[in-house]
Structure 1
Amino acid sequence: MSQELISRSSDLKKLRYEGYQIQVKKGFALLGQVPYVNSNKEVKYGTLVTSLKLAGNKTTKPTNHVIHFIGDHPCNKDGSEISGIKHRSGNNKLTEGIIVNHSFSNKPPNGYNNYYDKFTRYIEIISAPAKSLNSDVTAKTYEIIDTEEDSVFNYYDTNSSRAEINQIAKKLEQQRVGIIGLGGTGSYVLDLVSKTPVKEIRVFDGDVFYQHNAFRSPGAPTNDLLEKKENKSKYFQSIYSNMHSNIVCYNEDVQAATLHKLENLDFVFICIDKGNIKKEIIEYLVEEDISFVDHGIGIEKVDESLIGIIRTTLGTSDKNDHIDDRISFADGNDDEYSTNIQIAELNALNATLGVIKWKKHIGFYQDLTKEYSTIYSINTGVINNDDEL
């Protein structure tokens, strides 16, 4: 009920997204970690408390301008009490678990329009002396707070709210994303995509997570975990489900008979080097009008150093005539550009380039050139963008 109330009330939701520690308990809104100066001229932190006027599961215009405070009486920087807001002092139990120490009064001519205005005005008054002593103090802590039930995240994305890009991130919310292959590149793709508010992530991999996988994937598994020889999909799902609540795990490789499990997806990351099935997957995605990125890495040893290329190729309903020229459909062992050499930073870069292409395609990032193919050459450091729309 508390989370639903906050998510439905624009004023409380705005406080939370801006980094304030707002919560609701038994009809009261509490905003913690408000910096103030005490009588000893020390910076301390207290909690503002106000009763709420509600209409169903939403807040309405406050009828009471008085606010309560848990902590010492806020003072000016010289240790004298801020008298202009003084109302009452003395412990007062508002309800079970909420005992306040003071109440303050500061009434605008027409009252407060909402609880955002009410809280921020009192914070401005109370925290001003603390800021004059230490300009770094703030009530915006951006600490982890349990999120509302209808979010795919298990806690608030305060990274987006802090950067004020929530509206841009919303472009990803309705996306259903598939990741085929959770080897070096695919596992990094999952790492990045799980940090976005996509509606669903489907992961496909029938292989076991072996010790060599640990050296080209994100994270640092223990010996005990490696000895379990878990399926890759299950292993990575258990990690990233700590953050994203809708990761659907398929402990199998995508085969011709299971292509239907890709249906209803909006975007697919292809991170496998098996050419025959890759061709069938891409043909299916094109037919079903599902956009995708295919990832490729080719590394080889030359003169005791490594050289090679990293490739990301986008395909959409608007453009897919370049696919045969860019993507090899030979199996990994038969492809002269494909070896078994994989290095974590190259896998991570390959994944990053693909995720950036996806986000540009969705409109998260501005896309002026609309390139569909990107190739990075390691030994020259050159990035070539081709196949513009």
Structure 2
Amino acid sequence: MSTAPLARDTDLRRLLDEGYDVSIVANHLVVRRIPYVTVDKTVAYGFLGYPVTVSGERIVSDTDHRIWFGGTAPCTEHGVPLSLANPEARVVSGELAASFMLSSKPGPEGYPDQYEKVTAYVRILSHPAMALDETVTATPGAAWQEVEDDLPFRYRDTASSRAGLTALNQVFLKQRIVIIGLGGTGGYILDQLAKTPVESILLIDDDTFDNHNAFRAPGAASLDRLRDRPTKVEYFADLYGRMHTGIVTECRRITAENLSLLDDATFVFIAMDDATMKQTIASNLVQRGVPFIDVGMGVEEIDARLSGLLRIVLASPGSDNAGALARIPGPAAERDDYDRNIQVADLNALNATLAVGRWKRHLGFYADGTGETFATYSIYTNDITNEGTDL
């Protein structure tokens, strides 16, 4: 079953955030992968469980201080059975049955909440196991947990809840993002967006993912994968689809005839190297009131060293979009040194980070003290310059 009911419960969300493998099975709270010591003085794994009732957003225990354990007789590190373990069978579900009832009452009032009850029994069982093998853990992590039903992830985002950012993340939930171009910066934009609960991310690119792309892209492509010559959208959708469920692809070049690909977008990142279509795309988005960020970089070799600028342009309803459009360059008369496939993945990553940070400020996730529509980063001076500020 999904862990979503637990995620809404204040006490039990702490168990999920700390990495416990918790779920609700047949009206029982079940915590799997609990290490314990057998009579043979070896480490094994069992489960803890007890009956509960899901009441709204709360989990209510249907027992007192007792809990049931599935496994062989739990012991101390010396193989001596624990005195609190009493043989008592309890069927949780058709495939899950406990063999022992554990009883350890901390005081007259019992345990103050579900978290304290579970973790107290986990400590009792797992500490002897840790004495034999310090690498064992009762908190295997989010990979053992199912994601909340309304989030587009394949496993739980425990980082946001630990940092107290769950409420702030609401600004991402209805966002339908389009990334046009995955040659360099676009891949790093995707890398960061895939960690947010945006509803969908549409990838648009018609090119193949080749060796030179691998040295500009996030992650590390295998040689076998490069030999397959996947399309860029296929490669990135496979990579980030392992985390985010909302990634969709269009393997084609965007033209004036297929601008309808952008119809459902709530925000667009224009990250294509070829500037031929940029003005057409930008003008279409401005006309329809769809906010977007255009990114780009110009790199040149001067005295055997590279210099240049990274650029970010934001257009959004209510801003100086005429000024923003004027900042978007047309096709260059000559290719610069970046276009000659100089490998500057750090600049691609920085350009993407600045763009995604600006998007988050636009949404209200980050505080925005400038409201700029145009920003440049100078490699030579290490300066960021903001222009077109609205605040």
TM-score, normalised to structure 2, is 0.82
For residues 336 and 59 of structure 2, the distance between their equivalents in structure 1, rounded to whole angstroms, comes to 67
Q: How does 1:1-389 map to 2 (within 5 A)?
A: 1-3=1-3, 5-6=5-6, 12-32=12-32, 47-54=47-54, 60-65=59-64, 66-70=66-70, 86=84, 89-90=86-87, 92-95=89-92, 96-106=95-105, 115-116=114-115, 118-120=117-119, 141-145=140-144, 146-321=146-321, 322-328=323-329, 330-334=330-334, 339-342=339-342, 343-389=344-390
Shift, 1:177, TM fit: 0.6
For residues 277 and 374 of structure 1, the distance between their equivalents in structure 2, rounded to whole angstroms, comes to 21
Shift, 1:7, TM fit: 5.5
Structure 2 contact 324–374 (Cα < 8 Å) conserved:
no
Q: In structure 2, do the counterparts of structure 1 residues 58 and 114 end up closer, same or farther at CA, with 3 Å as the change threshold?
A: farther
Structure 1 contact 62–112 (Cα < 8 Å) conserved:
no
Q: In structure 2, do the counterparts of structure 1 residues 258 and 29 end up closer, same or farther at CA, with 3 Å as the change threshold?
A: same
Shift, 1:35, TM fit: 7.8
Shift, 1:371, TM fit: 2.5
| CA shift digits 1:316-345 (9 cap, x unpaired) | 1121343144221x2144477974444111
Structure 2 contact 283–325 (Cα < 8 Å) conserved:
no
Shift, 1:296, TM fit: 1.0
Letter of the structure 1 residue corresponding to residue 189 of structure 2: V
- Three-state SS of the structure 2 residue aligned to 1:352 is helix
For residues 309 and 341 of structure 2, the distance between their equivalents in structure 1, rounded to whole angstroms, comes to 12
| CA shift digits 1:209-238 (9 cap, x unpaired) | 222211111222233322332221122112
Q: In structure 2, do the counterparts of structure 1 residues 44 and 233 end up closer, same or farther at CA, with 3 Å as the change threshold?
A: closer
Q: In structure 2, do the counterparts of structure 1 residues 12 and 59 end up closer, same or farther at CA, with 3 Å as the change threshold?
A: same
Shift, 1:307, TM fit: 0.9
Shift, 1:21, TM fit: 2.2
Q: Which runs of 5+ in 1 are unaligned?
A: none
For residues 221 and 333 of structure 1, the distance between their equivalents in structure 2, rounded to whole angstroms, comes to 33
For residues 161 and 58 of structure 2, the distance between their equivalents in structure 1, rounded to whole angstroms, comes to 21
Q: In structure 2, do the counterparts of structure 1 residues 79 and 143 end up closer, same or farther at CA, with 3 Å as the change threshold?
A: same
Q: In structure 2, do the counterparts of structure 1 residues 60 and 219 end up closer, same or farther at CA, with 3 Å as the change threshold?
A: closer
Structure 2 contact 51–62 (Cα < 8 Å) conserved:
no
Shift, 1:163, TM fit: 2.6
Aligned residues: 382
Letter of the structure 2 residue corresponding to residue 64 of structure 1: T
- Three-state SS of the structure 2 residue aligned to 1:314 is strand
Letter of the structure 1 residue corresponding to residue 96 of structure 2: G
For residues 355 and 279 of structure 2, the distance between their equivalents in structure 1, rounded to whole angstroms, comes to 19
Q: Which moved more, 1:253-262 or 1:217-226?
A: 217-226
Q: Which moved more, 1:261-270 or 1:99-108?
A: 99-108
Q: In structure 2, do the counterparts of structure 1 residues 36 and 362 end up closer, same or farther at CA, with 3 Å as the change threshold?
A: farther
For residues 196 and 9 of structure 2, the distance between their equivalents in structure 1, rounded to whole angstroms, comes to 23
TM-score, normalised to structure 1, is 0.82
Q: In structure 2, do the counterparts of structure 1 residues 331 and 24 end up closer, same or farther at CA, with 3 Å as the change threshold?
A: same
For residues 229 and 42 of structure 1, the distance between their equivalents in structure 2, rounded to whole angstroms, comes to 49
Q: Which runs of 5+ in 2 are unaligned?
A: none
- Three-state SS of the structure 1 residue aligned to 2:355 is helix
Shift, 1:362, TM fit: 1.2
Q: Percent identity?
A: 36
For residues 349 and 291 of structure 1, the distance between their equivalents in structure 2, rounded to whole angstroms, comes to 21
Q: In structure 2, do the counterparts of structure 1 residues 316 and 74 end up closer, same or farther at CA, with 3 Å as the change threshold?
A: farther
Letter of the structure 2 residue corresponding to residue 159 of structure 1: A
Letter of the structure 1 residue corresponding to residue 102 of structure 2: S
Q: In structure 2, do the counterparts of structure 1 residues 38 and 234 end up closer, same or farther at CA, with 3 Å as the change threshold?
A: closer
Q: In structure 2, do the counterparts of structure 1 residues 179 and 195 end up closer, same or farther at CA, with 3 Å as the change threshold?
A: same
Q: Which moved more, 1:179-188 or 1:60-69?
A: 60-69
Structure 1 contact 34–48 (Cα < 8 Å) conserved:
yes
For residues 100 and 109 of structure 1, the distance between their equivalents in structure 2, rounded to whole angstroms, comes to 26
